[in-house]
Amino acid sequence: MNCEVCQLKELEVEHFEIREVLRCILHTIVFHRALGLVRPKDVDLELFEITYVQCGDVELEKKIDERIDHFISWVEKHPNKKSQICLSFYEVKSKQPSWFTNKTERLYWEQWYVNLNVTQHPKHHSSKSHHAKVVVDPGESATEDRSSRRAMVEASLREVLFQIIKFVNEKKDHVPPISDGVIYFPYEITIPSSSDSAFGMDMIKRMLHSGHPTMLS
């Protein structure tokens, strides 16, 4: 089975917009891949005039929010960096257990890369705003600049949503069969590690092989 990959258009967002943007994108993707029985739920974004659809599954919502929180924490430690969140759907295949491998294997059949460029944000807004309800960045920039910028972000976000719909429509053959009682396919959300991805992966591999603790930045 092919693993279809979709690289979504990069979005330039401010820190306080991360949560809403990610919720919108991730839930939209999952909604299209939650092929079990769902009662769709419309959610209106607070910062933008966009309505997206959720599955209505509480557990799913919690998991996504949790991953978003982790991502925001990472962004706070790595400001002004382009970041990427990967939402992957996989199938669980059992295989012969061995000493070094598990008896199950994940076969990824679809991966979505959400590309964000988080612009610099004043530090005093970073600590709590993402935990609290979304607050409009008080900012000191001119109202016109803010509204035009907001409109651009909204238009870009809308484009990304259309991109998701287009991809979902064009690629259907690789989607596995729907299992009874399963609402959505198994998925995982990967956020960047605490360092650069390549460096982080190397460190993890080194730890596994050598067992030496390594300080990660």
Residues 6, 15, 28, 71: which binds another protein (CB under 8 A)? 28
Residue among 31 and 71 whose Cβ is closer to another protein: 31
Which H or E element spans position 107?
A: strand 104-118
169 contact partners, CB below 8 Å, separation of at least 6: none
Residue count at the site for another protein (CB under 8 A)?
Answer: 29
Whole-number minimum distance, CB 51 to another protein, in Å?
A: 4
* Distance between CA atoms of residues 39 and 214, nearest Å: 46
Kindly state whether residue 161 participates in binding another protein, applying the rule CB under 8 A.
Answer: yes
Q: Which of 151, 162, 178, 146 is nearest to 37 (CA)?
A: 178
134 scored as a contact of another protein (CB under 8 A): no
Per-residue x/- track, 30-69, another protein (CB under 8 A): -xx-xxxxxxx-x-x----xxxxx----------------
Q: Is 162 in the site for another protein (CB under 8 A)?
A: yes
Dihedrals phi, psi of 13, to nearest 5 degrees:
-130, 160
**What residues are paired with 189 via a beta bridge?**
87
Beta carbon of residue 11, minimum distance to another protein (angstroms, whole number):
16
* CB 20, min distance to another protein, A: 15
Please tell me what DSSP assigns to residue 204: H
Cβ at position 110, least distance to another protein in Å = 12
Residue 165 binds another protein, judged by CB under 8 A: yes
Q: What is the residue whose two structure tokens read 């991109």?
A: 163
Q: Which residue, 39 or 212, has its beta carbon nearer to another protein?
A: 39
Is 180 a binding residue for another protein by CB under 8 A? The answer is no
Phi, psi of 116 (to 5 degrees): -125, 140
9: its two tokens: 């258009």
Strands 41-44 and 51-54, sheet pairing: antiparallel
Q: Which residues bind another protein (CB under 8 A)?
A: 28, 31-32, 34-40, 42, 44, 49-53, 158, 161-162, 164-165, 168-170, 172, 175, 177-178
